Structures are given as C-alpha cells and as structure tokens.
C-alpha cells in the first residue's frame, strides 16, 4: 500500500511530466521534421484524415529515454 507521501511524489512527477509534454507540444510545430519523417503515416479519405507519426514517436521515445537515464545517473540512482 502506498503512503500519502508516495502518492504525493507520484502526483508531482506526473504533473512535471505533463508540463514538459505541454511545452514540447507548444513548440512541436516549429520543428520542421516533426510529422514529416519517413515512417510518419497520413491517410486521407474524403474529409477524414488519420495521422500516425510512428517515426516521431520512436524519436521522442529515444530522446526521453536518454534524458531520463542521464537524470537518474546524475541523481545517483
């Protein structure tokens, strides 16, 4: 069972993650390669458009993995 302190820490980490993702999304349209990588799929059928940015997700995942690992090493965990 989680203590209230653990739940508080979890909520703070989640809020920090959401804030960082919000900033990334604010500036994502200024980056020319986001959504235009080779594995970013876009399907159009009439007025329906489906966009699946596979390569952008993979790149973002790799960058976040590197950043989180560096942060954890700097914190000594």
Q: pLDDT-derived band of residue 62, with 50, 70 and 90 as boundaries?
A: very high
Q: Which two tokens stand for residue 15?
A: 């809020």
Rounded to the nearest angstrom, the gap between the alpha carbon of residue 12 and the centroid of all alpha carbons in its chain is: 17
pLDDT for residue 44: 92
pLDDT for residue 46: 93
pLDDT for residue 32: 78
Q: Judge whether residue 77 has pLDDT over 70.
A: no
Q: Is the dihedral of CA 43, 20, 59, 57 positive or negative?
A: negative
Question: For the segment 16-58, what is each residue's pLDDT rounded down to a tens digit?
Answer: 989 988 887 788 778 777 778 888 898 999 999 998 888 888 9
Cα(36)–Cα(27) distance, integer angstroms: 15
């Amino acid at each position: 069972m989680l203590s209230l302190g653990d739940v508080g820490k979890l909520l703070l980490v989640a809020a920090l993650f959401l804030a960082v993702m919000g900033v990334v999304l604010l500036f994502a349209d200024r980056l020319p390669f986001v959504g235009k990588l080779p594995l970013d799929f876009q399907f159009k059928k009439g007025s329906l458009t489906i966009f699946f940015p596979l390569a952008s997700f993979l790149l973002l995942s790799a960058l976040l993995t590197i950043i989180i690992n560096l942060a954890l090493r700097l914190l000594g965990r």
